[in-house]
């Protein structure tokens, strides 16, 4: 018996040595969300001095300083008194999550892998592996910015062409006013001024696209109404593109009072870009733009859908890339969706797209409360 116990003890020490040799935190979690086993990397991650100070405590408390189950946890719907994770675990295999985490007042990007441990056909525990991918993400974003700046020459001609249209319109309108100033009817004069104002707005929006792309501002959020922001974006697009939107029907499935923490100016810019894309896809024809807002416990989901023909499958993975445009005319800066993606990332959210049955459906998922690092 003594020999058996010594053998088991040696095996346990060998297993712990293997776990400690892994530089990423590994945590064994039981069905009550209690920590049952960790490696040394977990001690450093949680800033705890030794194993006894961790074992038996709630995983969300010791790892992420939360008082309740993490909202991104695949077992978030699991009840602690249930004997296994069968009902709460998503899928049959491992599950991954990319999250933002604030540690020592610094925002980090973590990738969490959850591996189910089965016994007698039931998931009795979970192994969570925590990978800090902050530097990788920063490098990816830096490389993307470098490529973007190196590619500025590609779209300079497009920007010049886009600006030339409103500038030419203003020039012709002003010339017409000067030639007919003495005999012009006040109503006609006012109409010409409105045309100049529209052209100025178009030019300003193009310049704003370039500025937003080249030098993103620091995110400042406030408690704002997403319904009000959507309506402002709709009104702006229909006012700036009256002919393009003349035959477009709008279906806005949201109500006033849907408030949460975000930057209303940047979010309005996001919706303007999405709405403008839909209008251009309809190409002056009849169509409908549908906007739906759904609120869950921790997130706000906004869907923007049109039936303008959809996006070819081979383009879906390119549309968020800077300078990419599927505009048939070949003009445009190609920055709209890239800026949308950046705005959502700034808000610690996610922007995805689906195309089916000649429909295009964008989904914007935003946290109701921004992480402290934002």
pLDDT of residue 236: 85
Provide the pLDDT confidence category of residue 343 given band limits of 50, 70 and 90: confident
Q: What is the mean pLDDT of residues 38-47?
A: 89
Q: What is the mean pLDDT of residues 104-117?
A: 86
C-alpha to C-alpha distance for 136 and 134, rounded to whole angstroms: 5
Q: What is the mean pLDDT of residues 323-338?
A: 52
Name the packing angle between helices 152-179 and 134-150 (round to 10°): 50
Entry pTM: 0.47
Segment 215-250, tens digit of pLDDT:
555 677 889 999 999 999 999 888 877 878 888 999
Decide if pLDDT at 348 tops 70: yes
b/e map of 312-330 (b: 16 or more CB within 10 Å)? Answer: eeeeeeebbebbebbeeee
Segment 129-161, tens digit of pLDDT:
999 988 888 888 787 777 666 665 555 656 666
Q: What is the mean pLDDT of residues 304-322?
A: 76
Task: Write out the H or E segment, with its range, that includes residue 15.
Answer: helix 2-20
* CB contact set of 126 (below 8 Å; sequence gap of 6+): 28, 29, 75, 85, 89, 114, 115, 116, 117
Options 3.40.50.11900, 3.30.930.10, 3.30.450.20, 3.60.20.10; CATH for 1-134 is: 3.30.450.20
The alpha-helical segments, DSSP class H, found in 215-335 are 226-240, 264-282
Q: What is the mean pLDDT of residues 74-100?
A: 80
- Asked if the 216-373 domain carries CATH number 3.30.565.10, the reply is yes
Provide the pLDDT confidence category of residue 122 given band limits of 50, 70 and 90: confident
Contact between 345 and 145 (Cβ < 8 Å): no
Residue 188: how many other CB atoms lie within 10 Å? 13
SS (H, E, C) 76-131: CCCCCCCCCCCCCCCCCCCEEEEEEEEECCEEEEEEEEEEEEEECCEEEEEEEEEE
Q: Which residues pair with 362 in a beta bridge?
A: 304, 353
Average pLDDT of every residue of the chain: 81
pLDDT of residue 319: 66
The pair of structure tokens assigned to 80 is 């602690």
In the chain, CATH 3.30.565.10 covers 216-373
pLDDT of residue 237: 87
pLDDT of residue 284: 78
Segment 269-307, tens digit of pLDDT:
899 889 988 888 887 788 999 999 999 989 999 999 999
pLDDT of residue 241: 79
Place of tokens 């040595």: 17
Segment 173-200, tens digit of pLDDT:
778 777 777 777 777 777 777 878 777 7
pLDDT of residue 332: 44
Residue 19, SS3? Answer: helix
In the chain, CATH 3.30.450.20 covers 1-134
Decide if pLDDT at 85 tops 90: no
């Amino acid at each position: 018996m003594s020999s058996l116990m010594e053998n088991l003890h040696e095996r346990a020490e060998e297993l712990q040595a293997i776990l400690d040799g892994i530089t990423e935190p590994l945590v064994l979690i039981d069905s009550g969300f209690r920590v049952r086993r960790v490696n040394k990397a977990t001690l450093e991650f949680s800033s705890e001095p030794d194993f006894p100070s961790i074992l038996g405590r709630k995983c969300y408390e010791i790892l992420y300083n939360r008082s309740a189950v993490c909202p991104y946890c695949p077992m978030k719907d699991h009840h602690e008194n249930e004997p296994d994770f069968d009902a709460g675990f998503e899928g049959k295999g491992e599950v991954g999550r990319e999250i933002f985490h604030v540690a020592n007042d610094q925002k980090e990007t973590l990738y969490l892998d959850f591996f189910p441990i089965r016994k007698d056909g039931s998931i009795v525990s979970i192994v969570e592996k925590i990978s800090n991918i902050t530097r990788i993400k920063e490098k990816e974003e830096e490389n993307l910015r470098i490529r973007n700046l190196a590619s500025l020459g590609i779209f300079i001609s497009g920007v010049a062409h886009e600006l030339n249209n409103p500038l030419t319109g203003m020039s012709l309108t002003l010339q017409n006013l000067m030639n007919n100033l003495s005999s012009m009817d006040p109503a006609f004069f006012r109409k010409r001024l409105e045309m100049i104002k529209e052209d100025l707005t178009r030019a300003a929006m193009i310049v704003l696209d370039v500025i937003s792309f080249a030098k993103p501002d620091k995110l400042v959020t406030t408690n704002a109404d997403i319904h009000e922001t959507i309506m402002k974006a709709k009104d702006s697009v229909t006012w700036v593109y009256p002919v393009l939107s003349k035959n477009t029907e709008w279906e806005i499935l949201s109500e006033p009072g849907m408030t949460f923490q975000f930057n209303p100016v940047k979010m309005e810019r996001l919706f303007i870009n999405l709405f403008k894309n839909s209008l251009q896809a309809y190409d002056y024809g009849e169509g409908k733009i549908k906007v739906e807002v759904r609120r869950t416990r921790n997130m706000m989901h906004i869907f923007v859908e049109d039936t303008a023909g959809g996006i070819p499958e081979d383009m879906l993975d390119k549309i968020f890339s800077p300078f990419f445009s599927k505009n048939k005319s070949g003009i445009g800066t190609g920055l709209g969706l890239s800026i949308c993606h950046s705005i959502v990332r700034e808000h610690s959210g996610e922007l995805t797209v689906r195309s089916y049955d000649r429909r295009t459906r964008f989904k914007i998922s935003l946290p109701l409360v921004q992480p402290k690092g934002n």
